[in-house]
Amino acid sequence: MLRIAVQSKGRLYEETMFLLEEAGIKLNKAKRTLLLSAKDFPVEVLFLRDDDIPQSVANGVADVGIVGENEYVEKKQNAQLIKRLGFSKCRLSLAIPKDEDYRGLCWFQGKTIATSYPSILRTFLEKNAIKADLHVISGSVEIAPGIGLADAIFDIVSSGSTLISNQLKEVEVVMQSEALLIAGNKLTEDKKAILDELIFRFNAIQAAAGKKYILLNAPKDKLDEITEVLPGMKSPTVTPLAEEGWCSIQSVIEEKRFWEVIGKLKSLGAEGILVIPIEKMIL
């Protein structure tokens, strides 16, 4: 049995639960408890505060964990980074009152900065030869300047709306963050095998993200041009049709290029274009 530590609430919790469900891990959750087992896969999920996950994995309370990169870097625990998961993206940034005239990092010289991430901030300030006082706060960092506790803050930023509502502006991005899969250093061979299967499933989900499966009919004399538009994973699948001079083509396209590709296909004579979502993709 592999024990996975995950955040107990918030956006990272919700996106982690979605990932596990997509990976076929259905939890026995008749009622919410600290520890839940899966129905058809040898894992159990331990719900913790996000800042407790790195230590719990490092000391063996959990075998692996899904945690924000910000907490992983801040806590500096002896746990391996196994995989970047690509969701719950945010950044750690310095922000100051919106009416301040900001002309560079020298603004922070001698200032007081409120933060929940003193280790990351201290490293950044030392690297840039900035001497500032750190005021460590466990939550609601953004209110510190408004109530006179600090001159600036260093905190997580996603959309920036929280900064705006507190009359702050983001002036320096210190690091980017996303969800990580981390593991302890003493996994048994059985647990490593379960983790390998879990990573295989996560990879299949990630490979399908942002991609569409496309089927279309096209004139054979345009096949080479259409193939250039639809490179797919290796090359499009081409099948002759009963109608002379026509073929059916199947491929995978990036969703971000969807309308660009569709426009080119139509101009090359493609017809009957069918687009299908992809849930998993085994490479």
Q: How confident is the model at residue 139 (pLDDT cuts 50, 70, 90)?
A: confident
Q: How confident is the model at residue 32 (pLDDT cuts 50, 70, 90)?
A: low
Percent of the chain with pLDDT strictly greater than 70: 97
Average pLDDT value over all residues in the chain = 92
CA distances 135 to 14, 87, 145, Å, are 30, 30, 11
16 pLDDT more than 90: yes
pLDDT in tens, 157-201: 988 899 999 999 999 999 999 999 999 999 999 999 999 999 999
Are 182 and 58 in contact, with CB atoms under 8 Å apart? no
pLDDT value at residue 231: 65
Reference 156, options 266, 11, 18, 48; nearest CA is: 11
pLDDT value at residue 230: 81
Q: In what order do the strands lie in the sheet with 168-177?
A: 133-136, 112-115, 152-157, 90-97, 168-177
Angle formed at CA 67 by CA 63 and CA 72, multiple of 5 degrees: 95
137-153: average pLDDT: 92
Look up the pTM and report it.
0.86
Q: Is 227 exposed, middle or buried (0-12, 13-18, 19+ CB in 10 A)?
A: middle
pLDDT value at residue 232: 60
**Do the strands 179-183 and 64-68 form a parallel or antiparallel pair, or are they unpaired?**
antiparallel
Determine the Cα–Cα distance for residues 166 and 278; give it in Å rounded to an integer. Answer: 41
**What does the DSSP assignment read for 246-265?**
EEEEEEEEEGGGHHHHHHHH
Task: Provide CB contacts within 8 A for 214, sequence distance 6+.
Answer: 230, 250, 251, 252, 253, 261, 273, 274, 275, 276
Determine the Cα–Cα distance for residues 195 and 181; give it in Å rounded to an integer. Answer: 10
Q: Which residue ranges form the domains of the chain, and what is each CATH number?
A: 2-87+178-207 (3.40.190.10), 90-176 (3.40.190.10), 210-277 (3.30.70.120)
Determine the Cα–Cα distance for residues 90 and 161; give it in Å rounded to an integer. Answer: 13
pLDDT value at residue 233: 58
Number of H helices, E strands in the chain: 8, 15
Determine the Cα–Cα distance for residues 50 and 168; give it in Å rounded to an integer. Answer: 25
Number of residues written out for the chain: 283
pLDDT in tens, 210-241: 888 889 999 999 888 888 888 665 678 888 89
pLDDT value at residue 237: 85
Task: Provide CB contacts within 8 A for 104, sequence distance 6+.
Answer: none
